[in-house]
Amino acid sequence: MKPPDDVAAHLDAIPIGAGTGHYNNRRYLVTRSLFAAGKSQKLVAQELGGPDYISLNFYAPKDGPRLYPCEMPAEKVISFLRGYRPDPKEPT
């Protein structure tokens, strides 16, 4: 599906790799991966201590972005992307 215009920016705000954060007062472990020089992305989020699960693929071909939720409504993944806040990075 063609995603709303703000979805790519929300996805890009999530760090590459694995990390934790919050959505709807719940903690999640989120993994964001890039493929094909960033033209393809995968995001998987698992609620820590709970049953919620988010999974999506995002593609950026020349004719415009495409969002493919994995076996869940698009509204669920869009809401997650808009509301998820990564935890601050720990100093190294």
pLDDT tens-digit readout, 8-31: 999 999 999 999 999 999 999 999
In this structure, are residues 65 and 8 in contact, taking their beta carbons and an 8 Å threshold?
Answer: yes
pLDDT (average), residues 38-57: 97
Report CA 31 to chain centroid distance, whole Å: 8
Q: What is the pLDDT of residues 48-79, one digit of tens each?
A: 999 999 999 999 999 999 999 999 999 999 99
Give phi and psi for 71, each to the nearest 5.
Answer: 55, 40
Question: What's the burial of 91, exposed, middle or buried (CB within 10 Å: 0-12/13-18/19+)?
Answer: exposed
Q: What is the pTM of this model?
A: 0.93
